[in-house]
Amino acid sequence: MLGILILAGFAVFALFMPAFLAARKLTRRPAPDPSADPAALGLPYEEVDFQTEDGLTLRGWFIPAPAPARGTIIFCHGHSGSMDGDLHYVPAFHQHGYSVLMFDFRAHGRSEGERVSMGFHERKDLLAAVHFLEGRGIREVGLLGFSMGGATAIITAPLSPAVKAVVADSAFATLDTTVAGGLRVKGIPEPISRLVGWLAVKTAGAMLACRLEDAYPLRWVRQVAPRGLFIIHGEEDIYVPARDARRLYELAGEPKELWIVPGAGHREIDATAPGEYLPRILAFFDRFFPHREGDAA
């Protein structure tokens, strides 16, 4: 009996330890991307800050389009980075007539906060960004999210009537599948990786005193409509399987589009299909922002 208990104890430890380590990695403040400067790309910009409903100060850049503007897009960066890494996309938006608001989510880059919740609390951050723009008279926005930022865009869009369209690049449907994908990369096989992924999400939720599952995009994507939703994903994504994108697309209401790119890994669509990536995103947003300021409707 003692031997059985010892073996059971080792088994529990063998499952809990990687789950605990994964949960800690998910929730701790990561290092930012290398610092970037909009001025180095010839972009006019303003350093901005705004507060979330729970009292955190978030910092970012507002990059106005040449007048007359077509609309305003909020960029939502991914986990383990900062807004800096996505700046190279902005010139195309600027030239196309879109103003861009970039900001660091809580516990990332220049913003306050020490814990990441993979979307659960980041909804407050994105809503704060929308409200900041509304305070400047901008009543309609589009959301462009990458990975965690794409998931956050999907779960936040239903909470704001100001959102007209969402583009989600490499967004997960459920966080546990993403954690499991990372574990498989480290050599932990199925079905153990799935079990540890589930346990990691539960552990991270306990650390944050919330249910991370309540903010899974799979539970919110139906409510994005009637806003537009464009889901972009790499067929070879080893962290977020392409089936996540297909599940989100199947559940979403119209109008919606799905673009699965063969040969592309996680957040590699722009490198795999460079001639299509930004043109397709801009064309999608143009459907919902068809007129520049001052144009006849």
Residues 186-230: tens digit of each pLDDT = 888 888 899 999 999 999 999 999 999 999 999 999 999 999 999
What's the token pair of residue 194? 């799935």
Q: What's the pLDDT at 13?
A: 45
The pTM of this model reads 0.93
Rounded-to-integer distance, Cα 237 and Cα 173, Å: 13
- Beta strand 57-63 with 46-51: parallel, antiparallel or unpaired? antiparallel
Residues 38-94: tens digit of each pLDDT = 999 999 999 999 999 999 999 999 999 988 899 999 999 999 889 999 999 999 999
- For residues 180-188, give the mean pLDDT: 88
- For residues 274-286, give the mean pLDDT: 98
Rounded-to-integer distance, Cα 162 and Cα 156, Å: 11
Query: Residue 204, Cα to own-chain centre: how many angstroms?
Result: 18
Every domain of the chain with CATH number 3.40.50.1820 lies at: 34-174+216-288
Of the pLDDT bands very low, low, confident and very high (cuts 50, 70, 90), residue 1 is: low
Residue 16 has pLDDT above 90, yes or no: no
Class of the 34-174+216-288 domain?
Answer: alpha beta
Q: What's the pLDDT at 11?
A: 43
Q: What's the pLDDT at 104?
A: 98
